[in-house]
Amino acid sequence: MKTLLIIDIQNDFLPGGALAVAGGDEIIPYINRIVSDYDLVVATQDWHPPQHKSFASQHVGKKAFESIAWQGNTEILWPDHCVQGTEGAEFSKALEIPQVAAIFRKGMNPEVDSYSAFYDNHHQESTHLAEYLKAQNVMSIDVVGLAADFCVYYTILDALDEGFEVNLHSQGTKEINTDNYKRQLSALLKKERFNLVKS
């Protein structure tokens, strides 16, 4: 079953949003163009409670994009974004996915951040996306969305660990930090079952 996984095309990650990815809106026409080619379309949505601990506003004296020690890990603090029920958490109105079969929400536990569509950052809680896909006999996933060097990247790592083949569409993603993304992509290209789709 040809499957497309769309990561976090939400208003807060687009220009004008609280945590905008530069050029993030430029990938939407590409996604709209290819989506009808798929038998199964699944989307993810960051869905944070207002007091999420990944927000810099929850740490006295800290600013967005600073790193802190948090539950034994080094975590990046972010501006408040994709708060449950807000316009920033909604999918872009420009995204045309009427055939989306399921939406998986992540980042709902205020005590741990969650980049991947499959697990939180500590791999303590599952979104059950892997079980959903395997129940539909999905073996290969095409991936698009935001941001390439965070939620998309960690989703790909978990997908590979779960045994899926992953095809990342270069025209369907944008990164926050280009140098960081180039390093990540170089490492991914050495992994079995990962492919970069450039057209």
Specify whether 8 is catalytic: yes
Specify whether 151 is catalytic: yes
At 151, is the secondary structure helix, strand, or coil?
helix
95: which residues sit within 8 A by CB, 6+ positions away?
6, 9, 28, 31, 32
Q: Please give the Cα distance from 187 to 189 (Å, whole number).
A: 5
Question: Which of the residues 25, 46, 80, 106 is marked catalytic?
Answer: 106
Question: Which of the residues 80, 82, 120, 151 is marked catalytic?
Answer: 151
Amino acid at 120: D
Cα torsion for 140, 117, 168, 131, to the nearest 10°? 0
Point out which residues pair with 68 in neighbouring strands.
75
Specify whether 142 is catalytic: no
Q: Which residues are designated catalytic?
A: 8, 106, 151
